[in-house]
A = this chain, B = another copy of it.
C-alpha cells in the first residue's frame, strides 16, 4: 500500500487518507476485491489514530468506493475503467497551466461544476 501522509498539510489527515485511496482505486492500482489493510494496521503504519483511518474508510464506503465488513476488513467495491476521466483531467491541468490559472481557481471551478 502506497499511502503517504503529510501531517503538516492543511488537509485533514482522514481526508488525505481518503484521497489517496480514491486515487489508487480510480487509477486501477487496486482492482475490485482487493483487500485494504485493516484500519488498525493502516493506523499503526501511518502513525495515526484508529479513528482517523476509520473515518476515511467510512467516507469511502458512503461513496461506494469500498465495502466494510467486520472480521473481513475493507474491500475495493467499485472500479470501472477510468481512462476517459483521466484523459479529461489531464486536459484540464494542461489548460490551467497554459492559461496560468492558479490551482485554487481550477479546483473552485470544478467544485462548482460538479454540483
What is A's interface to B at a CB cutoff of 8 Å?
18-20, 22-23, 25-26, 59, 63-65, 78, 80-82, 84-96, 98-114
| Count of this chain's copies in the oligomeric assembly | 2
Q: Given known contacts A82-B101, A101-B82, A101-B85, is B108 in contact with A18 (CB within 8 Å)?
A: yes
Majority-rule SS of A interface residues? helix
User: Which B residues lie within 8 Å of A105 (CB)?
Assistant: 22, 25-26, 63, 65
User: Which B residues lie within 8 Å of A87 (CB)?
Assistant: 95
User: Which B residues lie within 8 Å of A80 (CB)?
Assistant: 99-101
Least Cβ–Cβ distance between A64 and chain B, in angstroms: 7
User: Which B residues lie within 8 Å of A64 (CB)?
Assistant: 102
